A and B are shown apart, each in its own frame.
Chain A
Amino acid sequence: MCPESPPTSTRSEPVVVNLGPQHPSTHGVFRLKVTLDGEVVQDADMIIGYLHRSMEKLAEERTFTQNIPFTDRIDYLAAMSNNLAYCLAVEKLADIQVPPRAQWFRVLFAELQRIASHSLANGTFVNDCGAWQTPLMYMFREREKVLDMFEMTCGARLTTNYMRIGGVAFDPPPELLPAVRAFLDEMPDRIAEYASLTVDNEILVVRSRGVGVISAEAAINASLSGPVLRGSGVPWDLRKADPYCVYDQLDFDVPVGRNGDCYDRFIVRLEEVRQSVHILKQVVDNIPGGPWLTDVPLHLRPPEAEAYARVESPRGELGFYVVSDGGPTPLRFHCRAPSLINLTALKQMSVGGTLADAIVTLGSIDIVVGEIDR
Chain B
Amino acid sequence: MTAALDPRVVAERLAAAVPGAVRAADSTALVVEPARLPEAVRYLADDADLDLSYLSNLTAVDRETHFEVVYHLQSLDRNHMLTLKTLADDHDAPRVPSLVACFHGAHLQEREVYDLMGIRFDGHPDLRRMFLWDGFPGFPLRKDFLGMPGDLRAGLPGFPHESGRNAWPVPGGTPQIPEG
Give residues in A with beta carbon < 8 Å to B.
48-49, 52, 54, 56-57, 60-63, 218, 220-224, 234, 236, 241-243, 248, 298-299, 305-306, 308, 310, 317, 319, 321, 323, 327-329, 331-332, 334, 336, 340-341, 343-345, 348, 373-374
Contact = CB atoms under 8 A, between A and B. Distances in A.
Contacts of B112: 340
Chain A, interface SS category: mixed
B55 to A, nearest CB: 5
* CB-based closest 9 A-B pairs: A223-B105, A49-B131, A242-B2, A52-B131, A222-B104, A334-B59, A336-B57, A299-B159, A61-B155
A241 B105 contact: no
Given A52-B131, A321-B57, A328 B158 contact: yes
Contacts of B159: 63, 298-299, 328
A170 B2 CA distance: 31
A340 B156 CA distance: 30
Contacts of A319: 56-57, 72
Contact of A327 (B61, B140, B145, B156): B156
B108 A54 contact: no
B141 interface: yes
Nearest to A217: B53
Interface in B86-126: 103-109, 112, 116
Contact of A341 (B28, B62, B72, B105): B105
A48 B130 contact: yes
A57 B140 contact: yes
Contact of A54 (B53, B61, B62, B140): B140
B56 A331 contact: no
B1 A60 contact: no
Contacts of B1: 242-243, 248
B2 A224 contact: no
A328 B56 CA distance: 28
Given A56-B141, A299-B162, A340-B112, A49 B155 contact: no
Nearest to B76: A236
A236 B109 CA distance: 21
B140 A344 contact: no
A308 B58 CA distance: 11
Contact of B141 (A57, A243, A323): A57
A48 B131 contact: yes
B54 interface: yes
Given A60-B155, A220-B54, A234-B76, A49 B105 contact: no
Nearest to A323: B61
13 contacts: A48-B130, A49-B133, A221-B53, A236-B76, A241-B2, A298-B159, A327-B158, A329-B155, A332-B62, A334-B59, A341-B105, A341-B108, A344-B107
A62 B156 CA distance: 7
> Max chain A CB contacts within 10 Å: which of B72, B132, B158, B159?
B159
Contacts of B156: 61-63, 327-329
B61 A224 contact: no
Contacts of B55: 223
Given A242-B2, A319-B57, A328-B157, 8 more contacts: A222-B105, A223-B104, A308-B57, A332-B61, A334-B57, A334-B59, A340-B112, A341-B108
Contact of B154 (A56, A61, A331, A373): A61
